[in-house]
Amino acid sequence: MLTAPSKIFTGLMALAFLGAIGCSAGKDQPGSAVKDGPRDSARGSAEESAEQARLDREYEELVQGFDRKTGARTITVAEARKRLAAGEQILVLDIREPEENAVAALPGARLIPPAKVGEAPLDFPAGATLMTYCTAGYRSGLAAVELERRLQRPVYNLTGGLIAWFNAGGGGSRSTGPETERWRG
């Protein structure tokens, strides 16, 4: 069984990824401190908590900026889970590259690479709620706006993307060839 990365690792990974694509939140991140031993464990724990709080704030600001920039309708992880638990038919659209999808994806998601959103077939069930996601919500927000324009119906973007889903304890899948292995975060 696979396990999801820890929240702090996921936050650092997200900031590194976002820095690599040119988002300011990922730049100039401090390296990790080396601890001297057991006497530093309390201080280290407090420092880790403070660092996690800083990363959480920075990530939340970044996500809010993405939501404002794209102008997409949004849905939170909590709301999406509530609707799924109630049995609502939600068609999940993964707006990432195939290489990203191969690493981790939400179960049952349909992959539409960002460059293909404008030409993707629009064969979505009429009664289904459409929800897009990507790594942190920017590409999927842009896609949600484009799909909503093309379909003339609401399309929701998962605010915070796959990172928010996993940080909230959501499960996913990882491609292992022709089959998919399910895992929980």
Tally of CB atoms within 10 A around 115: 8
Residue 29 forms part of a structural domain: no
Higher pLDDT, 51 or 172: 51
User: Does 28 have pLDDT greater than 80?
Assistant: no
Residue 31 forms part of a structural domain: no
Tell me: the pLDDT tens digits for 86-126? 999 999 999 999 999 999 999 889 999 999 999 988 899 98
Question: What DSSP character marks residue 117?
Answer: G
CATH code (residue 78): 3.40.250.10
Residue 48 forms part of a structural domain: yes
Domain range for 93 is 1-24+37-185
- Domains identified in the chain, total number: 1
Measured in whole angstroms, the distance separating CA 180 from the mean position of its chain's CA atoms is 19
The pLDDT value recorded for residue 174 is 55
Tell me: the pLDDT tens digits for 135-185? 999 999 999 999 999 999 999 999 999 999 998 887 766 554 333 333 332
Q: Measured between alpha carbons, how far is 133 from 166 in angstroms, rounded to an integer?
A: 12
SS3 content of the chain, % helix, strand, coil (to 5): 50, 15, 35
